[in-house]
């Protein structure tokens, strides 16, 4: 199947899988495999970690920014990015670097994300209107940043523990914006 851009129709990722679900899983696996090969860590004489990134290889990683995933069944899937670690055996020091799987600007409206893992996924500017996000693990997901900047549409999301948490964070962000506006407005 093909994963296409929501506006241009350009093919963002293509494989021989019979379903969108399998195609998206394969895109995630391919992303993690490329990053795992393209990124290496080492330390300099001051014990500072130096990350070496093969930029040519990085260009081959799937990039699903703006993907049309409207109504897709992504329940229980691992859509996560990858955290690359480096351990110096001489100093026993460890460093990590996270690489986000980008679904920035994707149309995930009406998608079933129930139980999907979104660790290290960039959902900024994505539409989640009407999406089911029950039981959604989102450690290190670039979604809360978007809540604070109000870049994601949340209307119609299925209530759940995570959904309630998101609603609370949105409410807090709106309260902070309102308070800031009051402070800036003379005579209020």
- Whether the per-residue pLDDT at 137 is higher than 70: the answer is no
Poorest-confidence range of 18-22, 73-77, 101-105, 153-157?
A: 153-157
Tokens standing for residue 25: 């899983």
Quick check: 22 pLDDT over 90?
yes
The more confident residue out of 114 and 154 is 114
Model confidence pLDDT, tens digit, residues 158-186: 544 445 555 555 566 666 666 766 666 66
* Top-confidence residue, 14 or 91: 14
Of the two residues 139 and 144, the one the predictor is more confident about is 139
* pLDDT at residue 120, as a whole number: 80
What pLDDT is stored for residue 54 in this prediction?
93
Looking at residue 115, its pLDDT comes to 78
State what percent of residues in the chain have pLDDT above 90: 31
Ordered by where they begin, the domains of the chain are: 2-184 (2.160.20.80)
pLDDT at residue 8 in the model: 96
**Of 107-121, 126-140, 163-177, highest mean pLDDT:** 107-121
- pLDDT score of 161: 43
Q: Is the pLDDT of residue 61 over 90?
A: yes
pLDDT band of 64, cuts 50, 70, 90: very high
CB 74 within 8 A of CB 23: no
Position 150 pLDDT exceeds 50:
no
Mean pLDDT of the chain: 78
Please indicate whether residue 128 or residue 66 has the higher confidence score (pLDDT): 66
């Amino acid at each position: 199947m093909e994963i296409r851009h929501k506006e241009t129709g350009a093919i963002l990722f293509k494989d021989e899988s019979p379903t969108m679900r399998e195609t998206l899983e394969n895109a995630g696996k391919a992303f993690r495999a490329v990053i795992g090969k393209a990124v290496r860590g080492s330390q300099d004489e001051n014990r500072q970690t130096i990350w070496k990134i093969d930029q040519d290889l990085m260009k081959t990683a799937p990039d699903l920014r703006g993907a049309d995933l409207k109504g897709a069944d992504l329940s229980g899937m691992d859509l996560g990015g990858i955290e690359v670690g480096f351990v110096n055996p001489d100093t026993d020091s460890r460093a990590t670097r996270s690489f986000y799987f980008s679904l920035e600007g994707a149309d995930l409206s009406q998608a079933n994300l129930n139980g999907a893992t979104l660790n290290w996924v960039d959902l900024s500017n994505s539409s989640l209107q009407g999406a089911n996000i029950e039981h959604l693990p989102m450690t290190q997901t670039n979604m809360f940043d978007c809540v604070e900047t109000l870049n994601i549409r949340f209307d119609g999301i299925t209530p759940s523990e995570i959904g309630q948490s998101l609603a609370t964070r949105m409410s807090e962000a709106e309260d902070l914006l309102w308070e800031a506006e009051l402070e800036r407005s003379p005579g209020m």
